[in-house]
Structure 1
Amino acid sequence: MSGTNRTDADVVIVGGGFMGIASAFFLRQRGRSVVVLERGLIGQQASGVNFGNVRRQGRYLPQLPLANRSREIWGKLPELIGHDAEFLMSGHIRVCYRQEQDDALEVYAREAAHYGLKLALYRGAELHAKFPFLGREVLSGSHSIMDGHANPRLAAPAFGRAAARAGARLEENTEIATVEKDGDLFRATSTDGRVFCAPNMLITAGAWGNQLSTQFGEAVPIMVNGPQMAVTEPVPYSIQPVVGVTSPMLEEIIYFRQVARGNIVIGGCARAPAFLDQRRAKVLPESTLLQFKQLARVAPAVTRLNIIRVWSGVEGYMPDDHPIMGPSGKVDGLYYAFGFCGHGFQLGPGVGDVMAELIDTGATSTPIEPFAIQRFATTANATPIAA
């Protein structure tokens, strides 16, 4: 097939969120020609509306090598892409209310040290002296001084601009109707008839990833829902670390961070319905009320502030809470990076670097085997579910 409606490249990336656009940037660093296809705008979906946590602690331990690789890149953003995305190495403290969670924090700190993540544990009076804004019910905390936060509204677009400057072709407002492999080439056809061809395809379509992987016979049981987010009025900057509560109960898992201009960003406690066809998710009023109830436990002073905005986004969650990342189990030249279960923001630069290395060389120095799509090969029902 030839003509003005066809575009060829070394790699076609379907999905212009953080994972896709970072992959495009790093592929260009390796000299690969890239076209990125995005239905809306770069970073418009989950990549741009998440909490903005740049944390490593609390992750699945085998994911720490990827998180460590990503953290190194976060520290180099200004020289790498010409923008810092408001990344601030503020530290991150993970707190709990019960002895069993305290015990788990201690075990995690010991095991994380083998992956190069150093954590300091604080309890009782020492904890409250170091973090005086914490409520008296907080029993202990695990502090990671190298973690922090960034602005999700800036990060993916900044990578997009850098990728474009490096020669990547970005096709925004381009909805893809079909993806297929014809001989040695992959073909992505847009709803307006344009065709994009390449010997390699990377699917980074977030919660919509299953709609594309299914066309290659690799359906996955992804669940879609909307995290609940809020932000307060600005007040003088006084809370440096990102704070997150660890608990076996979702309603207790709240997290918050204060940005330099004074607003406090809040997330957690609940999830709400999300709709793939509408590209929308809702914030439920009861979620915001629950967040305030939980804030009163972890940081009572924050509840004196006014909420000025709430929002959500469409996130994709896997049953085992791990993403799909790596090569296809069925089709040569096909790769995936989606379904990051609400904790992909910190990983974005690392995922891009790893996927570029994998596509360019056929291997990666960072282990990603636990995230292979083949683990869902026998799943009977892979229809996306709203929860």
Structure 2
Amino acid sequence: MNGTADVVVIGGGVLGAATAFELAGRGLSTVLLERTLPGRQGSGTTAGNLHIQAIHSRRPGQAVAVDNARLVPLQRATSDRWNTVAERLGRDVQIVRSGGFTVAETDDDLAELHRKAVWEHEAGIPTEVLDGDAARAAMPQLGDSVLGATWCPWDGYANSLLATPGFVAGAKAKGARVYTNSPVTALAPSGAGWRVESTVGTFSAGAVVNAAGPWIQSVAALAGARLRMAPLAIQMLETVRAPRFLPHLVQHIGIGLSVKQVLSGSVVIGGGWPAGDLHLGGTTPVLDASVAGNLADAVRVVPDVATLKLARAWTGPLAATPDEMPVIGEVPGLPGLFVEGGTYSFTFAPLWAETMADLIQGTTPAHDVADLGPARLLAAASEEVTV
């Protein structure tokens, strides 16, 4: 098969699917290429949280703290866009605005809550700082170790198993051509655009969006771009179903922890505990130590979790960057080749889709993302990069 398109999007996770949906909705001829099936990797294994207030500073094993001050205005913006996702797609992806508590268990973490509350108020995100007693009065399920919390009514989650297929279906309805089980094998400039070779055929396009998640680095390498990325695998836990007892999303500002009870009744525990060594071509193993550590955190913060049996644990890959920040923008020296991914791609998916479409069309995005571009990730010629 040979074809042409205005844009080829590589990667059918939630971010690539949302971008294809946005591009096709703007009338651009769009091809979406997915190496397996949409949402089978990071997008389908994530907790699906919508992080509207500031996220945790560090997950276990994370060396660099997230720049929450930089991300908060973007979280405010993506929250607005999630409000219209179901209507735009014409289907329910189980977006639940349960509200959320971000908790602190140390004095340092408590100080971080107060700092982030200032950034959130400046961005227009409604958060309230509570001491431990007030937090437990508002949510009695919180444990005695909680020294304080911030409450945000906009926090919540979407069903990660429905969101990506929803964006894919929406993209198709707008005219996008979607090809599954179609890994990209070659990527090179061609004339004023790009030549994209895949197992399903070759496409010529004016622009290419590399939204390949943990494969971002290897896809970029096909075009000669040497990006410093740090893909890794994290793991998730889920309990058996139980009568409803946990009304809100609970996150931890200082460590990798999120706890919520989803619509089915099971409790999903996430937050970034590491899995075994990442195997992009196979299955990444669950680490028993991480299961134990994550459960211990969850039970300490929400003690009632201890009454539930663990039903399953699974792993999923992330497209992490060395500075733990998102990446979005055009690759320097390779006009028409764009990259998007990195930190909290699920939360940012509708905003990044809109931003990417603006960049491709030469329109100034609503939010400046120049500092989040891939230039900072380009490796020097003498620098060793493992792909």
Instruction: Report the TM range for the smaller structure's normalisation.
Output: over 0.9
Query: Residue 28 of structure 1 corresponds to which residue in structure 2?
Result: 24
Matched residue of 1:154: which SS?
helix
Query: What SS does structure 1 have at the residue aligned with 2:126?
Result: coil
Equivalent residue in structure 1 for 2:223, among 198, 201, 216 = 216
Spell out, residue by residue over 1:54-79, the C-alpha distance to the aligned partner (whole angstroms, 9 max, x if none).
01212522233332232122111222
What is the aligned partner in structure 1 of residue 284 from structure 2? 281
Q: Matched residue of 1:47: which SS?
A: helix
Distance in 2 (CA, whole Å) between partners of 1:378 and 1:347 is: 26
* Preserved contact between residue 17 and residue 42 of structure 1 (Cα < 8 Å): yes
**Is 1:138 paired with 2:130?**
no
Aligned counterparts of 1:181 and 1:34: Cα–Cα separation in 2:
18
In the other structure, the counterpart of 1:187 is 195
* Contact kept? 2:53, 2:75, Cα under 8 Å: no
8 A Cα contact 1:8 1:196, kept in partner: yes
Q: Is the 8 A contact 1:210 1:222 kept in 2?
A: yes
Counterpart selection for 1:262 from 262, 265, 282: 265
- Tell me, yes or no, if the aligned pair for 1:357 and 1:363 is still in contact at 8 Å: yes
Q: Tell whether the 8 Å contact from 1:220 to 1:383 is kept in structure 2 after alignment.
A: no
In the TM superposition, 1:169-248 aligns within 5 A as: 169-191=177-199, 194-247=201-254
Distance in 2 of aligned mates of 1:276 and 1:361: 37
Contact preservation (8 Å) 2:226, 2:379: no
Is contact 1:56-1:64 (8 Å) kept? Answer: yes
Q: Which residue of 2 aligns with 1:383?
A: 386
Change (3 A) 1:121 1:69: same
SS in 2 for 1:212: helix
Q: Does 1:94 align with 2:95?
A: no
Match of 2:119 in 1: 111
Counterparts of 1:263 and 1:354 in 2: how far apart (Å)? Answer: 35
Distance 1:216 1:141 in 2: 46
- Residues 236 and 262 of structure 1 are in contact (CA less than 8 Å); yes or no, is this contact kept in structure 2? yes
Q: Distance in 1 between matches of 2:186 and 2:165?
A: 26
Secondary structure at 1:10 match in 2 = strand
- Is 1:374 the counterpart of 2:385? The answer is no
- Identity, in percent, stands at 29
Is the contact made by 2:98 and 2:248 (CA closer than 8 Å) also made in structure 1? yes
Q: Structure 2 length normalisation: TM-score?
A: 0.92
Q: Per the alignment, do residues 14 and 274 of structure 1 end up closer, same or farther by CA in structure 2, a change over 3 Å counting?
A: farther
Return the letter of the residue paired with 1:365: A
CA contact (8 A) 1:326 1:336 kept: yes
How far apart in 2 are the matches of 1:295 and 1:310?
14
SS class of match (1:26):
helix
Alignment of 1:319 onto 2:322: yes
Task: Determine the structure 1 residue equivalent to 2:351.
Answer: 350
Cα contact 1:242–1:256 (8 A) shared by 2? yes
* TM-score, length of structure 1 as denominator length: 0.92
- 5+ long unaligned stretches in structure 1: none
Quick check: 2:14–2:39 contact (8 Å CA) kept in 1? Answer: yes
Map Cα deviations across residues 176-203 of structure 1 (whole Å, 9 max, x no partner).
11111111121111136x1011011111
Q: Distance in 2 between matches of 1:142 and 1:257?
A: 16
Aligned to 1:77: 85
Q: Assess, with a 3 A threshold, how the Cα gap between structure 1 residues 151 and 274 changes in structure 2: closer, same or farther.
A: farther
Q: Is the 8 A contact 2:49 2:347 kept in 1?
A: yes
How much has 1:279 moved relative to structure 2? 4.2
| Deviates further, 202-211 or 112-121 | 112-121
Q: Secondary structure at the match of 2:346?
A: coil
Whole-Å Cα distance in 2 between the matches of residues 372 and 116 of structure 1? 25
Q: How many residues end up aligned between the 2 structures? A: 373
Tell me: CA distance 1:279–1:115, structure 2 relative to 1, closer, same or farther (3 Å): farther
The answer as to whether partners of 1:30 and 1:360 remain within 8 angstroms in 2 is no
Contact 1:241 1:257 in 2 (8 A): yes
SS in 2 for 1:312: strand
User: Partners of 1:277 and 1:50 in 2: how far apart?
Assistant: 16
Q: Alignment partner for residue 274 of structure 2, among 271, 276, 284?
A: 271
SS of aligned partner of 2:241: coil
SS at match of 1:382: coil
Partner residue of 1:159? 167
Unaligned 5+ runs, structure 2: 56-67
Q: How does 1:118-129 map to 2 (within 5 A)?
A: 118-129=126-137
Instruction: Out of 372-381 and 151-160, give the one that drifted further.
Output: 372-381
Matching residue's letter, 1:304: T
Deviations 1:224-282 (A, max 9, x none): 221110111111112121111122xxxx4321110122110011362023434424322
